[in-house]
Amino acid sequence: MPNECNIDIQKIMEMLPHRYPFLLVDRVVEFESGVRLKAYKNVTFNEPFFQGHFPGLPVMPGVLIMEALAQAGGVFVMSTLREELGDKVFLFTGINKVKFRKPVVPGDKLVLNVRYERRKMNIWRMQGSAEVDGNVVAEGEFSAAVAKKGDL
């Protein structure tokens, strides 16, 4: 049974340093601490990247789909740790086995699924998949670290 929750954009901004136009998670709808998270991004025609990717054929760049998954991973980690961002930053450290299956276009609701794989010290490894209308559009493994801003 999924653990439903409602982490809204205000709470997400307390956990992530990203802001418009680079904040790519709108809401978290399911969360199991230390296990998984389900969130979404509403993709609209007003997204700035659609101006150049591609004129007349707007497609969300795959790297931004992976960035959205990484941001959802950041919310997962900060929620699991039960911490606000404070003087910390969540840094993307790697991606593996990424596959893009279908294009994401304006009007799509991009569902972001993140599942914990393991943690070694401050490095978190997760599996992510992005879906539109129940179909996987992208998937891959990624890792990230929680670090103090002063240590960078």
Judge whether 18 counts as a catalytic residue.
no
* CA distance readout (Å), 107 to 89, 98, 136: 31, 24, 16
What letter represents residue 72's amino acid? A
Q: Which of these is catalytic: 27, 53, 115, 119?
A: 53
Joined tokens for residue 85: 């961002």
Residue 74 contacts residue 15 (beta carbons within 8 Å) = yes
What share of residues in the chain are helix, strand, coil (percent, to 5)? 20, 45, 35
Of 84, 66, 69, 121, the residue nearest 10 (C-alpha) = 84
**What positions carry a catalytic annotation?**
53
